[in-house]
Structure 1
């Protein structure tokens, strides 16, 4: 069957995923252009993207997004840590930057779609007419978790050419096409923090540290001093700076009292969480209890749960307790391979963080 020719902008990093995605679209007869973004000082050098574009013989547009990336991603990331949260900047970047500003720029360049190298699949629900995102064929590389916050309009203008391939198949496709990116290394998790020293990066970016305070147990008894909230996340064991004669973990962070609450391993488990900033993909809204599989972080296994709408929140009741529920992370809901939607966690072992709730 002849495929309608479209103009497609491919988000190019110069790596194997985006390069192969562009090559596949070319071979399907589409007009392909490359778009690459500069997001931060010392960040993505366009050299690799230019090399890939030249090899594929497609034009490349280099877009300076440093200002908007700082406003929408970096500042939000840092401020979240000061509030005692552990954010996932990739979720925000996909919604605001890649499928926000980059999609807008791609459309201005005349592209019908923006394609990326995400390992997810896109389809339409024939009954509801809603666009759906489903997990990629490669379970180890599936990236549906970080795309749960996309709108119907964003999904409608997105293409994911790699969703039906495994990573090794993609590398083989690239090798067969003699793409120089075929054996390129995997990209790091947070692109703007190359050494993974979050606290130092936040101090430098925001020009301030967080104040030292108390380690306490669940009863409020002071058991030590912490260095500042930005140094800690729920579930953390190493780097506490204090020894207790037994393994102790961060169980909760209290920014109002500037406390870090510690507990033992079993103290990290809870069978309930609350989430806000909800976005629904497969349904218009949650109108009543709904059985789902829920992931509380990117690398977590999906767990059986029931969703309950509560004003502007959703309560997630798990069949089995989950370890280290962390405010700031996203919880994403699935029905089999289909992403139903998700939201931002505003509770931990100690319950709802009232300081994180937004007025209705």
Structure 2
């Protein structure tokens, strides 16, 4: 008699299915581990130490800081499954933090959480899960994995307010075959917290982390100055015609679209940061309409569609150019297997190099991939 498919998609009993759960110490991944353990799976919890959580860069309550490692270990003890802490500090420094600092110094606005998923969690940690003879790796991300006619597909979460697809666009088809996201179908975070309470988890009421794990209180400039001493060189604030309007204390203190804190008051109309010129040490400001962008050049594209990126040619899709806004209509024009231009049907303000542009099926929830915005027109 053929063994029925279990909830993780394997034709064997949960007890014979080993799953490594990436545990950050927060409520989401803790619930995933507890839920799978209760269902009878052979659960192994793994938490990454990504940096020295006693150092000045760390922040109490941030992802993977010392408190979170303690919380993840405590959940594993409460539920009765093994838990390991892996020192990925050097990998994280090389693959995420160094690029974050260099990107900021180059005038970009990087998204280190995507690089962490791409280069550490879904690469090195995933390989560790395979070394542990796990059948799959599960995380607490709010995104859905569905099996279509051509294999596993990535879809946005059931709860649009918690959807994390923007941060997972670079997940490859091979990785997606191995990954599981048990919370992706949940329609609210309250459902997750209710499960945490049901399982009696000590983290049931733990607040969500809002900041990048190694950036205390969202102060990017302070982190860059610590990582790259002397990087914040002063320069001129200029208008689009090159007229000097004031001085700044370092390009790293500014981002595209910024209005407040420019220190050039007394002007008739409000001005926004429209461009950063690192070579000249210029912060270029202008009127709000100059922030509007329709053409977005991309590179390092990860394509998750059924046919190849080039094979499909020009096509209509929906895109996110920032994580906090819903997808908008656009036209995708491939240039190579990893490069393309996206034309937004309605101009978007504040599109910045270093950010991601994520592709969606315009008629559904499927994530078709995405790429990195690399320069402005």
- Where do 1:111-190 residues align within 5 Å? 111-126=134-149, 128-129=150-151, 131-165=152-186, 166-190=188-212
CA spacing shift, 1:266–1:110, aligned 2, 3 Å: same
Q: Whole-Å Cα distance in 2 between the matches of residues 158 and 324 of structure 1?
A: 33
Q: Aligned-pair distance for 1:317? A: 0.9
User: Is the CA contact (8 Å cut-off) linking 1:292 and 1:305 kept in structure 2?
Assistant: yes
Q: Whole-Å Cα distance in 1 between the matches of residues 299 and 161 of structure 2?
A: 28
Q: Whole-Å Cα distance in 1 between the matches of residues 349 and 215 of structure 2?
A: 26
Q: 2:317 pairs with 292, 301, 311, which one?
A: 292
Q: Mean alpha-carbon deviation: is it higher for 323-332 or for 209-218?
A: 209-218
Q: Whole-Å Cα distance in 2 between the matches of residues 174 and 293 of structure 1?
A: 35
Match of 1:333 in 2: 359
Q: Aligned-pair distance for 1:244? A: 4.3
Match of 2:9 in 1: none
Match of 1:193 in 2: 215
Q: Mean alpha-carbon deviation: is it higher for 61-70 or for 192-201?
A: 192-201
Q: Aligned-pair distance for 1:136? A: 0.7
User: What is the TM-score with the length of structure 1 in the denominator?
Assistant: 0.92
Q: Please give the secondary structure, in 2, of the residue aligned with 1:315.
A: strand
Match of 2:129 in 1: 106
Q: Aligned-pair distance for 1:206? A: 2.2
Q: Aligned-pair distance for 1:2? A: 5.7
1:59-116, CA deviations, whole angstroms, 9 ceiling, x for partnerless residues?
1010011111000000000000000000000100000111111111122122121111
**Structure 1: gaps spanning 5 or more residues:** 352-360
Match of 2:62 in 1: none
Q: Aligned-pair distance for 1:241? A: 2.9
Q: 1:303 pairs with 318, 328, 346, which one?
A: 328
**Structure 2: gaps spanning 5 or more residues:** 7-11, 59-64
Q: 2:25 pairs with 14, 20, 30, which one?
A: 14
1:164-213, CA deviations, whole angstroms, 9 ceiling, x for partnerless residues?
11211111111122222111110133001122111111111123323222
Q: Please give the secondary structure, in 1, of the residue aligned with 2:218.
A: coil
Q: Whole-Å Cα distance in 2 between the matches of residues 66 and 292 of structure 1?
A: 38
CA spacing shift, 1:183–1:220, aligned 2, 3 Å: same
Q: Whole-Å Cα distance in 2 between the matches of residues 194 and 59 of structure 1?
A: 31
Q: Which runs of 4+ in 1 moved over 6 A?
A: none
Q: Aligned-pair distance for 1:263? A: 1.1
Cα RMSD for the two superposed structures: 1.5
Q: Whole-Å Cα distance in 2 between the matches of residues 141 and 263 of structure 1?
A: 34
Q: Aligned-pair distance for 1:270? A: 1.6
Aligned residues, how many?
Answer: 347
Q: Aligned-pair distance for 1:22? A: 0.9
Q: 1:202 pairs with 224, 229, 234, which one?
A: 224
User: What is the TM-score with the length of structure 2 in the denominator?
Assistant: 0.88
